[in-house]
Chains A and B, each alone.
Chain A
């Protein structure tokens, strides 16, 4: 499993105020979505890549691999917009005829396709920036500061931490099944998998019981009260965010005239 959170823990931007990273990613993403310009989208993709690779020191190869995933989805998803089907030949760039139907790509549809693709990709890079520089604990910190409902944030804390226990348990069961000739043949695969799932469920219930007991032992009363680490906001960072996003707006205005 590629553990994005692991990169966040080792990124150089880890100790930057999470609020700053959050505002930067979300504000930039909003601007990309609102301004809807190919130039700005491409600019944001390049800027975010530079930030992630140079400022946060995330391996470029790794980042590129991570980017391939949404790229694939986007290409397939946006394809439907690029291709238009009509009953008569319009101003197609490329087209072919099947029976009485024309299938092809027009100038406008190609433009929409490129615009949409880059806009979506730019948004993804913004979110990747957040995910690769901000460990979950810091995102939870931001959510708490934003006064998200406690119950949801508490659940996030518990679920996040249990993902690792869950995966490890699943892995142990899987290995022990394999070493007893599990997953043999198609029927065997189904059987072993169903055993794994049901066992994992029961184990989870058991573990939850002990977690709950241990929380109660330390005075749990319905709310996970813990110390939140304090981060110091930096004026330079805030100025940088404002400058960067103003630049985007400025680029947009220039482009209009």
Chain B
């Protein structure tokens, strides 16, 4: 049986000014999976993410961690914040200290880790993310990509079981975006559940195991990326597009060049392999 680490059941959320941000959200994230939430601007993605680590309390409905319902009390929430780490979109807003080490140490100090162990963990995470060389620089000297890595280190150093990233690759150049994706992949291999929110359909398609489409405060579609992204009506109503790789493959299928029941390629390499297959068939 599949085990869900995070579940949202019938979540409604209304802001103080009456805006209904979430309108009956139901979603379940499988343990140790790679999940992506997609949706147009203003669909409620950021609001939903803030529910995941208990920063926002739903107006009605329940959030569950490992099958246990969230209790909005200090001890439960403190524990939850350690186990569900959130990386925010703008690293400038996440980094509060001018010192890289101090910023990364913040979460650890809050959960009462001793200084020696904290320093050890900080240096470990620095090695892992390749940012040890930034430790002596003030944060405002760093590039956006470096800041994002430091912000991620500040979350990962608490060793969360789930990491939630709001637009992890936004604003990054292709090189740094690839590093970020590699880091997220490595985390998943090491047992962490990774959930991202993104506008990048190509990233979501080739990276995620499961995608959720959020529109007007509701999950309108979820599941295997190749199935979800083949649903044109949902993509149109949610202002999304078909991922390029899938679109090419669908065209090939339309022309009868690939077997109709074969699995669509996940990434460029798989697609190129399909080309070779087609060429061999023609010869």
Contact = CB atoms under 8 A, between A and B. Distances in A.
Contacts of A160: 98
Given A161-B139, A161-B140, A227-B115, A217 B93 contact: no
Given A158-B96, A210-B90, A229-B101, A218 B107 contact: yes
Interface residues of B, number: 42
A215 B96 CA distance: 8
B97 A157 contact: yes
Interface in A133-188: 135-137, 157-158, 160-161, 164-165, 168
A224 B98 contact: no
A219 interface: yes
Nearest to B52: A217
B81 to A, nearest CB: 5
Nearest to B53: A217
Contacts of A158: 96
B102 interface: yes
The B interface, classified by DSSP as helix, strand, loop or mixed, is helix
Contacts of B103: 226
B92 A219 contact: no
Nearest to A215: B96
Contacts of B110: 218-221, 225
A231 to B, nearest CB: 13
Nearest to B109: A225
B82 A219 contact: yes
A211 B93 contact: yes
Contacts of B93: 165, 207, 210-211, 214
B138 A224 contact: no
A226 B97 contact: yes
Interface in A56-81: none
B177 interface: no
Interface in B134-178: 137-141, 151, 154-155, 158
A165 B92 contact: yes
A37 to B, nearest CB: 39
A90 to B, nearest CB: 56
B81 A217 contact: yes
A226 B81 contact: no
Contacts of B158: 218-219
A94 B50 CA distance: 74
Contacts of A219: 78, 81-82, 107, 110-111, 158
Contacts of A91: none
A84 to B, nearest CB: 48
Contact of B96 (A136, A161, A168): A161
19 contacts: A137-B97, A137-B99, A157-B98, A161-B140, A165-B92, A213-B50, A214-B94, A214-B151, A217-B86, A218-B81, A218-B158, A219-B111, A221-B110, A224-B97, A226-B106, A227-B115, A228-B102, A229-B101, A229-B102
- Ordered nearest first, which 10 A-B pairs have the shortest CB separation? A219-B110, A218-B107, A225-B109, A227-B105, A226-B102, A164-B140, A210-B93, A214-B94, A217-B86, A211-B93
Interface of B: 50, 53, 55, 78, 81-82, 85-86, 88-90, 92-99, 101-103, 105-111, 115, 118-119, 122, 137-141, 151, 154-155, 158
